[in-house]
Amino acid sequence: MLRARNPNRTLPTQCRAMSTIVLLLISNVFMTFAWYGHLRHRTLPLATVILVSWGIAFFEYCFQVPANRWGYGRFSAAELKTIQEVISLVVFAVFSVAYLKEPFRWNYALGFGLIVCAVFVIFHRW
């Protein structure tokens, strides 16, 4: 009987960790554009932006799924989700300033800082 190949065995632990983070970063860039990119194009019909967003989200999944598949085992599911959320916030902060031309306010920085505190709580070995 043929056995399914375990992709996690072929990558060293550090490589899996970095691959996971890079893939999550790429996936979050796609997802941020899928969810928020249309805000600069508010005259387009809603049905059009929904279809375009679905198309962009497809590419997000092409990076998100392998990131979670390869990262699981090196990271727990809770750790993977935490990494994804922090990356998502960083990508969104850059996106909102660079693409949407919105100011980055002090209370956003404080809120993101509190989320970093949550990351410490989740990743710390108690």
Is residue 8 situated within a structural domain?
Answer: no
Measure the CA–CA gap between 96 and 99, rounded to whole angstroms.
6
What domain range includes position 22? 13-123
In a domain, 51, yes or no: yes
Q: How does the average pLDDT of the chain come out, rounded?
A: 90
Would 1 be classed as within a structural domain? no
Q: What is the chain's length?
A: 126
Number of domains in the chain: 1
Inter-residue long-range contacts of 94-99, CB under 8 Å, 24+ positions, other chains counted: 95/29, 95/32, 95/33, 95/36, 96/36, 99/37, 99/40
pTM over 0.85: no
In a domain, 114, yes or no: yes
Residue 93 lies in a domain: yes
Token pair of 107, please?
């209370």
**Amino acid identity for residue 40 in this structure:** R
> What proportions of the chain, in percent to the nearest 5, are helix, strand and coil?
80, 0, 20
Is residue 123 a contact partner of residue 79, using CB atoms and an 8 Å limit? yes
**Would residue 103 count as lying in a domain?**
yes
Tens of pLDDT along 73-110?
A: 999 999 999 999 999 999 999 999 999 999 999 999 99
- 64: in domain: yes
Q: Is residue 4 part of a domain?
A: no
| pLDDT at residue number 3 | 57
CB 103 within 8 A of CB 97: yes
